[in-house]
Amino acid sequence: MQTDNLPGLNINIGVLGHVDSGKTSLVRSLSTTVSTAGLDKHKQSQERGITLDLGFSSFVLPPPPQILETLPECGAVQYTLVDCPGHASLIKTVIGGAQIIDMMMLVVDVTKGIQTQTAECLVVAETLIDTLIVVLNKVDLIPEEKREAKIEKMRANLAKVFQKTRFDPLMIPVAASPGASTETPPIGMQELLSTISSLTPATSATARLTDAPFLFSVDHCFPIKGHGTVLTGTVLAGKVTVGDTIELPMLRVQKKVKSMQMFRKPVNSAQQGDRLGICVTSFDASLMERGLASAVGTVPTIQAAIVQIKKIRYYKKPVKAGVKWPITIGHFTVLAKPSFFHVPLEGAPGEGAAATEGSSAFDWSLEYLHLDELIPPGQATTTQWALLEFDSAITVPIGSKLIGARLDADIEQNMCRLAFEGQLMEAVESTTAEDLARLKIYKPKMREGAVDRVMDGQTLIGKNFFSKEADMSAFIGMKIKTELGDTGTIEGPFGKTGKFKVHFPQANFDSSKEAKGGPKKLIMEFRKFTYGDKNSMIQ
């Protein structure tokens, strides 16, 4: 940011929680500036009394010591509050908002504790952020003589919940709107502000991706008469300067940045993490409400993708391969069919080059074992991957976070609807069998047959493997075993009845008619690849 009197760093705080937990009241109590995408400006929000869309507002604090250590020139920190909806049917909006935040406040109604959407928001937090503050709201509803005991009991109950997560959060009691009266001052705001300041991630001052291509999440788009069209949103990566040419990749439209503002103050440039309004000219605002703006040519439109994927442990049902899922990436949700696979640990069935859990790059040279379903957390020993084939092409940056969720599930069942999370690692340009052949996914196969006769000390004739019409050419040279452990090689067909000849170089079979106790069964194990030639097999 290069305009005088503006903060030196912007931190985005997601405010999430169950519907009617008091998120918007909390944000209103903390905020000093409200953006054009402000608090409950959506007409339906005002009519229904709940947040239906992302709201943005901000306040400014002095930089905490951990920020000054790495950014000594920082004069102040601007905290942008992203007020996310908690209504059951709007969890995908929460996911879209969660991907642009640095830290999170989880708002809990102190009189009710964890509710369904509270738990789902916690899942989003575990997936996407490292710093969490729990705000115990509505303490004014507890009589003063019982308030402290009730708060401590709630803290103890919540601590049990958080033991199963990677968080050990501070829990701050507040009353954002005591008695729903504007005359009564909020309770606990100063302690909450101090906590926010002390927990501001130090990495926020150093982890901004200013060298990456510009990427901007647009959450609102509207015209201003005499000026042009304004795109409001958050810079996800890189930086932008007045005069730059940017692209709206979903429309493949390029526009020059005429001017920019941060919370009504003009700026010449902005970088990752900044909340921003970008003004462009000659663009019809009705063509886009939400979406992306980016450096020209940096966001592809894809039909399929390779993603690194994990099952969310709170989702109790199996996540099966081949079953279509609604996939949320940013603000968009699209149906996709997943195929799951991984590289097993060495020594496991189908052993290969092992890839431990947490690998960050996809290796096209490895052979991957097909998975019928995602392996639950705690049982997975290696990174799990998926090929996602989208029902319709999507325009999305490589590296985007995604979540698979059954948002149509009955919320009254009190179960988590978020099933898996992942990161888009590679675009797949075509899903034809020929193009997918480079993706080496296999299924372990086994065939069993019988020994028809012993030809000599090293040769058996097998049967019950192939039909009369079968083409055995793909199996010639493949290894086969007897139930006694002898290993041989298929040499070719024997006659025209589906029988075949097998050579055992280390064996010494008794070929006499009186021989008893010799091998009776033939077993062949191999890997059959999912894509490519239907006869593509290896052992």
Give me the CATH topology for the region 9-205: Rossmann fold (3.40.50)
Q: Where in the chain is the domain with CATH 2.40.30.10?
A: 215-295, 301-436
How far, in Å, CA of 18 to CA of 120, rounded? 9
* Model pLDDT, residue 516: 72
Strands 537-538 and 487-493: unpaired
Parts of the chain belonging to CATH 2.40.10.190: 441-538
Q: Which residues contact 259 (CB under 8 A, 6 or more apart)?
A: 227, 242, 266, 279
Task: Annotate 52-82 with b (16+ C-beta within 10 A) or e (fewer).
Answer: bbbbbbbbebebbebbbeebeebeebbbbbb
245-248 and 291-295 strand pairing: antiparallel
- Predicted pLDDT at 86: 52
Q: Where in the chain is the domain with CATH 3.40.50.300?
A: 9-205
The token pair at 438 is 């480079």
Q: Provide the token pair at 83.
A: 């007020």
Percent of the chain with pLDDT over 90: 49
- Rounded to the nearest 5°, which phi and psi values hold at 536? -75, 105
Give the pair of three-digit tokens for residue 2.
């290069």
What is the pLDDT, as a whole number, of residue 46?
35
Task: Among 2.60.40.10, 3.40.50.2300, 3.30.565.10, 2.40.10.190, name the CATH number for the domain at 441-538.
Answer: 2.40.10.190
Q: What is residue 296's predicted lDDT score, i.e. its pLDDT? A: 96
CB 95 within 8 A of CB 85: no
Q: What's the first-to-final CA gap in the chain, in angstroms?
A: 59
Helices 116-128 & 91-98 angle (0-180, nearest 10): 30
Comparison of pLDDT for 516 and 507, the residue scoring more: 507
Per-residue burial over 474-511, b = 16 or more CB atoms within 10 Å of its CB, e = otherwise: ebeebebbbeeebebebeebbeeebbbbbbbeebebee
Between residues 3 and 460, the one the model is more confident about: 460
Relative to beta strand 325-329, strand 401-405 is: antiparallel
User: What average pLDDT does range 115-141 have in this prediction?
Assistant: 86
Residue 31 pLDDT: 80
Range 149-155, long-range pairs (CB < 8 A, 24+ positions): 150/110, 151/110, 154/108, 154/110, 154/113
CA nearest neighbour of 18 among 138, 127, 179, 196: 138
Burial of residue 120 (CB within 10 Å: 0-12, 13-18, 19+) is: buried
pLDDT value of position 435: 83
If we measure between CA atoms, which residue out of 408, 405, 430, 427 comes closest to residue 418? 405
Q: What is the pLDDT of residue 357?
A: 46
Contacts for 191-197: CB closer than 8 Å, 24+ residues apart: 192/30, 192/133, 192/135, 193/30, 193/61, 195/133, 195/170, 196/13, 196/61, 196/79, 196/103, 196/105, 196/133, 197/61, 197/62, 197/64, 197/77
CATH superfamily of 301-436: Translation factors (2.40.30.10)
Q: Which CATH superfamily is domain 215-295 in?
A: Translation factors (2.40.30.10)
* pLDDT tens track for 70-123: 888 888 888 988 877 654 444 555 565 556 678 999 999 999 998 877 877 888
Contacts of 145 (CB under 8 A, 6+ apart): none
Q: What DSSP string runs through 270-325? A: EETT-EEEEEESS--GGG-SSEEEEETT-S-EEEEEEEEEEE-TT--S--BTTS-E
